[in-house]
Amino acid sequence: MGKKKGPKYNQIIEAAVKVIANHGYHQAQVSKIAKEAGVADGTIYLYFENKEDILTSLFEEKMGDFVRKIRDRMTPNLSIEEKFLLLITMHFEQLQADKHLAIVTQLELRQSNTELRQKINEILKDYLLLLEELLTEGKSSGYFQADLDNRLARQMVFGTLDEVVTNWVMKDCKYNLESSAKPVHKMLMRGFRA
């Protein structure tokens, strides 16, 4: 069980995103996801351990892509401020490009029980790690204040981006999100700059 891969694996994950975005977390029954994916209820359990595993895997796959794309474009020649601008811009860009996914990650998946939320935090660690790398680089290059607390600074970046995106989703994604990247970047950089 739980032997990932096969075309149905992705079918089911995409179906889950669609169903959760359209019907909400608490109305996303396994049978509804199965129907949307075009498979039988039981088939779900050939690809996933249980319902929670669908959601964890969904987050894993999507968040993996999310961070990978950011890392890919974070070339060494960029300045630390350019790197942050890239990160913030891509963070907003990617979520704006897939509003279903934005709804799912910003609103719906947070209604999950504490256990699933712990797992989601595990998955997020890779992103937080990237943030800490950038912060450390900024400090050692003398660009950021030397006494910056990595944990707090990282929480400030993530907390801010997350809050901005969540508010945008709660306003039905009806204004442009990417255009907030520059002002947010400006405030954060001033906050860290030496």
Task: State how far Cα 123 lies from the chain centre.
Answer: 9
Answer for the pair 165, 80: CB distance below 8 angstroms, yes or no. no
Task: Note whether 20 binds a second copy by CB under 8 A.
Answer: no
Closest CA to 31 of 20, 42, 22, 21: 42
Taking CB under 7 A as the criterion, the residue among 10, 14, 24, 45 binding DNA is 45
Sketch the per residue contact string, 12 through 41, with DNA: x for CB under 7 A, - otherwise.
--------------xxxxxx-------xxx
Q: Can you name the residues that pair with 193 across neighbouring β-strands?
A: 144
Applying CB under 8 A, which part among 3-11, 13-21, 73-81, 105-113 lies near a second copy?
105-113
112 binds a second copy (CB under 8 A): yes
Residue among 14, 24, 43, 162 that touches DNA (CB under 7 A): 43
The site partner of 30 among DNA, a second copy, none (C-beta below 5 to 8 Å per kind) is: DNA
Segment contacting a second copy (CB under 8 A): 2-10, 24-32, 42-50, 59-67?
Answer: 24-32
Q: Are 175 and 92 in contact (CB under 8 A)?
A: no
Q: Are 16 and 30 in contact (CB under 8 A)?
A: no
**141-160 mask for a second copy (x: CB under 8 A)?**
-------xx-xxx-xx-xxx
130 binds a second copy, rule: CB under 8 A: no
CA distance 58 to 119: 12
Q: Residue 143 carries which side chain, given as an amino acid letter?
A: Y
Of the candidates 164, 151, 160, which has an alpha carbon nearest to the alpha carbon of residue 189? 160
Cβ 7 vs Cβ 46: under 8 Å? no
Structure tokens at 191: 């906050």
Least Cβ distance, residue 78 to a second copy (angstroms):
21
**Which one among 24, 46, 63, 136 touches a second copy, defined by CB under 8 A?**
24
Q: Which residues bind a second copy (CB under 8 A)?
A: 24-26, 107-108, 110-114, 117-118, 121, 148-149, 151-153, 155-156, 158-164, 167, 170, 180, 183-184, 187-188, 190-193
